[in-house]
């Protein structure tokens, strides 16, 4: 809600006020307020309380109750509320009730607003990468969100691997991209039960990233056709074995029928020696066992055939889909995707190769390490690629059960006295990675950017501290957290470009996200704001004493009488600051 005239106020959340102005600039507030929520409005609308929850996330609140019970409560800061277009804030209990009452439809509608606000920033960076002739660089990962192991009130929580432990909770599948302007931008987050494992989520991560960017590489249908042909060729020996085993079963059944007929004849013929009858009975038993063995062999072969047919059916459906996607994608892009060993199964590697990606990963199975180690020779030369890391590589190596040749590198890490840890890197693409092992090592380990991003969501925004026990609200919390991380990066560039250049200007671009959230967003300041501009001056008692941020929104070249008092006050204060 815009103020009619200039107001000078004190705030305990200086940079949060500036972020509120940025939120209004990009349409975030009006977007959230436009979402229909089936909840009643008393003093504050449910939309305003959802917005308040986002502000709490931006403030780095560990618990929802900090809205009202921290040293400097958000809900007591009128200047902050007005900077975010609100008359005031609700108590944390009201925010909690609103979040708890959200349906999945509500949560998805709110997340759609966040995605709509995010899209122009993502599109801008994709266009910039295109203009620079750079590939799109994306990373994917799965991160655990544990709750108390004794809790029974989190819906659909399940036990799974989280932070090297078995914990109760949820998993969040996330993707990010490298941005020339902002460094790292989150693309997507997907909510999962805690027992979800990485190896089941590779395709889902890639598809989520494609949906957000609206771009994808050309599907490698020629490779997929070759794989299908190989699958069909591999099926032929099994089909021949099936036919021969089927014939053997029929022969065994005929032999049993003949023996049973002989036994019945002998039993019906007077004077048949008992030894003859006993011999035929034993022969029947042997024939029945032979039939059972033949049936088992045939059943086993039939299962193998069914596996072949099912795999071929999946591949044929994939080929059809990929051909349609290629036809609808006249301008494919180059995309580099990095995933860790948890995703690096042979099936996932083959799928991402067929989807057209340049792929950096580690192999999932520890047996792959053992297999590659057998390729080492006594005279093998290791290349130093890091402080305690060495590598040796092979080009176009065909591994058992892997559909395509890969560039493969064996890593060894010296982790202690006479202790060595091994892992296997795999690459598919056009880069000559085996000719420059240090670059390969550095490029793959550059995926630490998503690991750092996950660490940021937990240590700065406290994603792992679930503030609600409603699953739609938990999903919204996940989406709002990655949005908050992006939002501050966008705001940092916007502030640097938009704030009036003055000697006392806060050097926002030299401040990391953590310092902005934990220091600048909680620094006391004096703020003058209305629809025409804002001046924020950090108080002498704050860690940013002497710094300020000055924004001016000019509606026309001539200042109107309505806003003249506002600009007069701004000019006086700016003169004092100078």
Q: pLDDT tens string for the chain (578 positions)?
A: 334 455 789 999 999 999 999 999 999 999 999 999 999 988 999 999 999 999 999 999 999 999 999 999 999 999 999 999 999 999 999 999 999 999 999 999 999 999 999 999 999 999 999 999 999 999 999 999 999 999 999 999 999 999 889 999 999 999 999 999 999 999 999 999 999 999 999 999 999 999 999 999 999 999 999 999 999 999 999 999 999 999 999 999 999 999 999 999 999 999 889 899 999 999 999 999 999 999 999 999 999 999 999 999 999 999 999 999 999 999 999 999 999 999 999 999 999 999 999 999 999 988 889 999 999 999 999 999 998 999 999 999 999 889 999 999 999 998 877 789 999 999 999 999 999 999 999 999 999 999 999 999 999 999 998 988 999 999 999 999 999 999 999 999 999 999 999 999 999 999 999 999 999 999 999 999 777 788 999 999 999 999 999 998 754 333 333 333 333 433 443 343 33
Cα(456)–Cα(477) distance, integer angstroms: 15
Domain that holds residue 412: 340-446
Show which of 327, 361, 379 is a domain's final residue: 327
**126 in a structural domain:** no
Q: Are residues 374 and 301 in the same domain?
A: no
pLDDT of residue 6: 56
Show which of 290, 305, 327 is a domain's final residue: 327
Q: Is the dihedral of CA 448, 454, 458, 460 positive or negative?
A: positive
Residue 309, helix vs strand vs coil? helix
pLDDT of residue 560: 34
**492 in a structural domain:** no
Q: Are 130 and 448 in contact (CB under 8 A)?
A: no
**483 in a structural domain:** no
Q: Are residues 434 and 528 in the same domain?
A: no
**393 in a structural domain:** yes
Q: Are residues 228 and 206 in the same domain?
A: no
pLDDT of residue 1: 37
**123 in a structural domain:** no
Cα(92)–Cα(238) distance, integer angstroms: 66
Cα(272)–Cα(283) distance, integer angstroms: 16
Cα(391)–Cα(385) distance, integer angstroms: 7
Q: Which residues pair with residue 536 across a beta bridge?
A: 527, 549
Domains: count for the chain:
4
Within 13 Å, how many C-alpha atoms sit on residue 495's CB side? 29
Q: Are residues 345 and 440 in the same domain?
A: yes
**374 in a structural domain:** yes
Q: Are residues 227 and 321 in the same domain?
A: yes
Q: Are 49 and 98 in contact (CB under 8 A)?
A: yes
Q: Are residues 234 and 317 in the same domain?
A: yes
Range 349-363 burial, b when 16+ CB lie within 10 A, else e: bbbbbbbbbbbbbbb
**356 in a structural domain:** yes
Q: Are residues 531 and 570 in the same domain?
A: yes
What number of residues does the chain have? 578
Q: Are residues 511 and 426 in the same domain?
A: no
**Among candidates 225, 246, 158, which has minimal Cα distance to 196?**
158
Locate 59 and state its tokens. Answer: 């403030």
Cα(280)–Cα(266) distance, integer angstroms: 9
Q: Are residues 351 and 442 in the same domain?
A: yes
**475 in a structural domain:** no
- What single DSSP character describes residue 505? B
Q: Are residues 227 and 201 in the same domain?
A: no
Residue 503 CB neighbours (<10 A): 8
Q: Are residues 11 and 80 in the same domain?
A: yes
Q: Are residues 314 and 354 in the same domain?
A: no
Within 13 Å, how many C-alpha atoms sit on residue 310's CB side? 6
Show which of 327, 349, 376 is a domain's final residue: 327
């Amino acid at each position: 809600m815009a103020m009619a005239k200039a107001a000078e106020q004190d705030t305990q959340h200086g940079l949060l006020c500036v972020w509120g102005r940025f939120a209004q600039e990009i349409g975030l507030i009006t977007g959230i307020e436009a979402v229909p929520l089936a909840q009643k409005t008393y003093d504050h609308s449910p939309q305003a309380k959802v917005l308040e929850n986002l502000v709490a996330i931006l403030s780095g609140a560990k618990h929802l109750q900090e809205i009202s019970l921290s040293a400097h409560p958000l809900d007591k800061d009128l200047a902050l509320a007005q900077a975010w277009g609100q008359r005031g804030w609700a108590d944390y209990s009201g925010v909690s009730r609103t979040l708890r009452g959200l349906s999945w439809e509500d949560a998805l509608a709110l997340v759609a607003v966040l995605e709509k606000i995010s899209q122009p920033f993502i599109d801008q960076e994709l266009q910039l990468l295109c203009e620079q002739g750079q590939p799109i660089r994306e990373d994917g990962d799965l991160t655990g969100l544990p709750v108390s192991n004794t809790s029974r009130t989190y819906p659909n929580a399940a036990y799974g691997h989280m932070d090297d432990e078995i914990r109760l909770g949820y998993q969040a599948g996330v993707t990010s991209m490298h941005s020339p302007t902002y460094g790292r931008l989150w693309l997507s987050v997907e909510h999962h039960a805690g027992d979800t494992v990485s190896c089941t989520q590779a395709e889902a991560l890639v598809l989520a990233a494609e949906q957000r960017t609206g771009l994808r590489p050309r599907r490698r249908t020629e490779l997929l056709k070759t794989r299908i042909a190989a699958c069909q060729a591999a099926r032929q020996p099994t089909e021949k074995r099936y036919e021969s085993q089927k014939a053997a079963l029929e022969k065994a059944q005929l032999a049993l029928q003949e023996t049973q007929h002989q036994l019945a004849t002998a039993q019906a013929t007077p004077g048949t020696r008992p030894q003859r009858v006993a011999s035929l009975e034993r022969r029947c038993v042997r024939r029945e066992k032979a039939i059972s063995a033949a049936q088992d062999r045939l059943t086993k072969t039939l299962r193998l055939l069914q596996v072949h047919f099912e795999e071929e059916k999946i591949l044929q459906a994939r080929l059809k889909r990929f051909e349609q996607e290629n036809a609808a994608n006249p301008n494919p892009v180059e995309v580099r995707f990095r995933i860790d060993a948890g995703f690096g199964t042979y099936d996932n590697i083959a799928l991402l190769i067929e989807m057209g990606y340049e792929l950096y990963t580690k192999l999932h199975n520890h047996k792959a390490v053992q297999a590659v180690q057998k390729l080492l020779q006594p005279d093998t030369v290791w290349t130093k690629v890091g402080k305690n890391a060495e590598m040796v590589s092979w080009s176009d190596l065909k591994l058992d059960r892997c559909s395509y040749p890969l560039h493969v590198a064996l890593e060894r890490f010296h982790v202690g006295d006479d202790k060595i840890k091994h892992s296997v890197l795999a690459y598919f693409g056009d880069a000559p990675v085996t000719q420059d092992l240090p670059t390969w090592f550095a490029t793959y380990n550059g995926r630490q950017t998503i690991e750092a991003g996950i660490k940021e969501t937990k240590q700065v925004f406290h994603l792992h501290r679930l503030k609600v026990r409603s699953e739609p609200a938990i999903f919204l919390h996940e989406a709002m957290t990655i949005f908050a991380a992006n939002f501050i990066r966008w705001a940092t560039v916007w502030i640097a470009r938009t704030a009036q250049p003055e000697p006392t200007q806060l050097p926002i671009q030299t401040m990391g996200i953590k310092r902005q959230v934990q220091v600048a967003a909680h620094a006391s300041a004096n703020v003058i704001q209305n629809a025409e501009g804002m001046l924020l001056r950090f108080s002498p008692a704050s860690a940013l004493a002497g710094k300020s941020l000055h924004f001016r929104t000019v509606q026309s070249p001539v200042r109107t009488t309505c806003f003249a008092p506002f600009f007069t006050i701004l000019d006086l204060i700016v003169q004092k600051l100078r």
